[in-house]
Amino acid sequence: MTSERSPLLTRTKICGLVIAGFVIISLVITIFLSSRPHEPKLNLKPFEQLGVVMADTTAKLINNQGEIVLWKIRTETKVAVMDVPIERFRDELSKRSDIRLIAVEEGVMNQPPVRAPGMEMAGMSGEKFLGLIQKYPTASALVLFGATPKLTEEQIGNLPVRRPKVFVIAMYDLPHKSLFEKGVIQVAIVPRNGMRAISTNPPDDNMEWFERYYDVIPPDTAYRLP
């Protein structure tokens, strides 16, 4: 004699099997993901602190008040990490009530971001630089992120007496010391030559992250530049 199964019992067993199936699938996915090699995570602290120092240096340059124009480089290939210091720079400036960012301009760098033997990196053309000076004659400072102006003696001579102070954040092409001597550039941030060999341990504070990778160059230390 065959006994009939209870519909409730049958549904309970089916639900149990479904739940067990989900548990097994979840475990398999978890094991698979945990066994995959982890991609190295990019350390953004030096880039974030670069943005903070950019804002602090700009504020000091204009005595904590005035209007700022930011020019930033735009590479043909998207480099997301280059947005980090810009975003932090803008965020820090927004905390200063007497400083206003009035414009953000950008330009394309056609050469790849590498320095090859015998190859001079393309900077900002003299024409472009003069155009920015003429476009924003009353700005307190012009912050150039990623390119150094390349000017002829004639172009330097044509610069107006009253013009924005210029702050260069050089990524690939270092500003020549003559640009400081002739008053074209007032301050620059340049990459440090090699990692600063202070310690193999992580820096204790954010400023040390900056100092391991960058140098601030005011006019009185511009002699260190080529």
- Enumerate the domain spans of the chain: 45-224
Contact 182, 160 (CB under 8 A): no
Per-residue pLDDT tens over the stretch 180-199: 999 999 999 998 864 444 44
Per-residue pLDDT tens over the stretch 112-151: 444 444 334 457 888 999 999 999 999 999 999 988 898 9
pLDDT on residue 33: 42
Residue type for 169, please? Answer: I
pTM over 0.75: no
Give, in words, the CATH class of 45-224: alpha beta
Contact 151, 116 (CB under 8 A): no
Per-residue pLDDT tens over the stretch 22-44: 334 443 344 444 444 555 566 78
* 3-class secondary structure, 89: helix
End-to-end CA separation in angstroms for the chain: 101
Sign of CA dihedral 44, 46, 52, 55: negative
